[in-house]
Amino acid sequence: MGLVAIGFLSSWSSSLFFILLFQVVPFVSSSSASSQELNTDGFFISDFLQKMGGLTQISSYDFSSPVCSWEGVSCDVNNQNVIGFAASSLGLSGSIPEVTIGKLSKLESLDLSNNKITSLSSDFWSLGSHLKTLNLSHNHISGSIPSNIGNFGSLQSLDLSFNNFSGEIPESINSLLNLQFLRMNQNGFSGRLPHGILKCENVVSIDISVNGISGSLPDGFGTSFLKLQRLDLSENEIHGRSSDFSGLQSLTHLNISGNFFQGSVMGVFQDPLQVIDLSRNQFRGHLSQVHFANSSFNWSNLVFLDVSENQLSGEFFHDLNNEAKNLKHLNLGYNRFSNQEFPLIQKLTSLEYLNLSKTSLRGKIPIDISQLVSLRTLDLSQNHLQGSLPRLGIKTLDVLDVSFNNLTGEIPSSLLAELPQMEKFNFSFNNLSYCNSQLSLHTRKTAFQGLLYSCPIAVKPDNIRNKTTKHKGMKLILAVTLAIVCFIVGLICLVIGCRRKTRMWAVKQISYKEEASISGPFSFQTDSTTWVADVKQATAVPVVIFEKPLLNFTFVDLLTATSHFDRGTLLAEGRFGPVYRGFLPGGIQVAVKVLVLGSTMTDQEAARELESLGRIKHPNLVPLSGYCLAGDQRIALYDYMENGNLQNLLHDLPLGVQTTEDWSTDTWEEDNSGGIQSTGIEGILTSWRFRHKIALGTARALSFLHHGCSPPIIHRDVKASSVYLDSDLEPRLSDFGLAKIFGNAAEENISRGSPGYIPPEFSESENSAPTPKSDVYGFGVVLLELITGKKPMGDDYAEQPNLVSWVRGLVRKNQGLRVIDPKIRETGQEKQMEEAVRIGYLCTADLPTKRPSMQQIVGLLKDIEPVVHQ
Average pLDDT over residues 205-226: 93
Higher-confidence position of 348 and 778: 778
Give the model's pLDDT for residue 616.
86
Say whether pLDDT at 458 is over 80.
no
Say whether pLDDT at 273 is over 70.
yes
Give the model's pLDDT for residue 248.
92
Global pTM value: 0.59
- If we measure between CA atoms, which residue out of 225, 671, 635 comes closest to residue 658? 671
Per the CB < 8 A criterion, the answer to whether 403 and 424 are in contact is no
Within-domain flag for 85: no
Same domain, yes or no, for 580 and 601?
A: yes
Same domain, yes or no, for 648 and 590?
A: no
CATH number of the domain within which 586 lies:
3.30.200.20
> How many residues in the chain?
870
Same domain, yes or no, for 587 and 702?
A: no
Burial per residue of 64-82, b for 16 or more beta-carbon CB atoms within 10 angstroms, e otherwise: eeebbebeebebeeeeebb
Higher-confidence position of 512 and 619: 619
Same domain, yes or no, for 622 and 718?
A: no
Helix 688-707 to helix 854-863 angle (10° resolution) is: 150
- If we measure between CA atoms, which residue out of 534, 641, 667 comes closest to residue 579? 641
542-545 and 553-554 strand pairing? antiparallel
Strand spans (E) along 150-197: 157-159, 164-167, 181-183, 188-191
- Residues with catalytic roles: 717
Say whether pLDDT at 397 is over 60.
yes
Say whether pLDDT at 399 is over 50.
yes
Domain boundary residue among 582, 617, 640? 640
Between 137-141, 414-418, 449-453, 693-697, the lowest mean confidence (pLDDT) is in 449-453
Within-domain flag for 432: no
Same domain, yes or no, for 648 and 612?
A: no
Per-chain mean pLDDT for the chain: 80
Same domain, yes or no, for 598 and 728?
A: no
Q: Which residue type sits at 236?
A: N
Give the model's pLDDT for residue 20.
40
Per-residue pLDDT of 47-58, as tens digits, reads 898 888 754 556
Same domain, yes or no, for 613 and 647?
A: no
Give the model's pLDDT for residue 691.
93
Same domain, yes or no, for 747 and 801?
A: yes
Domain boundary residue among 640, 666, 697? 640
Per-residue pLDDT of 409-429, as tens digits, reads 999 988 998 888 898 999 988
Within-domain flag for 462: no
Q: How many domains does the chain have?
A: 2
Neighbours of 248 (CB within 10 A): 21
Within-domain flag for 779: yes
Helix 830-843 to helix 854-863 angle (10° resolution) is: 170
Within-domain flag for 82: no
Give the model's pLDDT for residue 346.
82
Per-residue pLDDT of 621-673, as tens digits, reads 998 889 988 877 888 999 888 888 888 888 765 433 333 334 333 333 333 33
Q: State whether residue 816 is helix, strand or coil.
A: helix
Same domain, yes or no, for 649 and 716?
A: yes
Within-domain flag for 610: yes
Domain boundary residue among 586, 607, 640? 640
Within-domain flag for 363: no
Neighbours of 506 (CB within 10 A): 10
**Bond into 792 cis (ω within 30):** no
Per the CB < 8 A criterion, the answer to whether 69 and 47 are in contact is no
Same domain, yes or no, for 796 and 844?
A: yes
Per-residue pLDDT of 461-489, as tens digits, reads 434 334 344 444 555 566 656 666 666 65
Cα–Cα distances (Å) from 48 to 91, 96, 114, in that order, read 13, 7, 16
Say whether pLDDT at 194 is over 50.
yes
Same domain, yes or no, for 587 and 709?
A: no
Within-domain flag for 671: no
Say whether pLDDT at 253 is over 90.
yes
Q: Which domain, by its residues, includes 606?
A: 536-640
CATH number of the domain within which 862 lies:
1.10.510.10
User: Which spans in 729-869 are helix H?
Assistant: 739-742, 747-751, 760-764, 772-788, 803-812, 822-825, 830-843, 854-863
CA–CA separation, 648 vs 660, rounded Å? 9
Same domain, yes or no, for 711 and 855?
A: yes
The shares of helix, strand and coil residues in the chain, as percent rounded to the nearest 5, are 35, 20, 45
Helix (H) or strand (E) holding 114: none
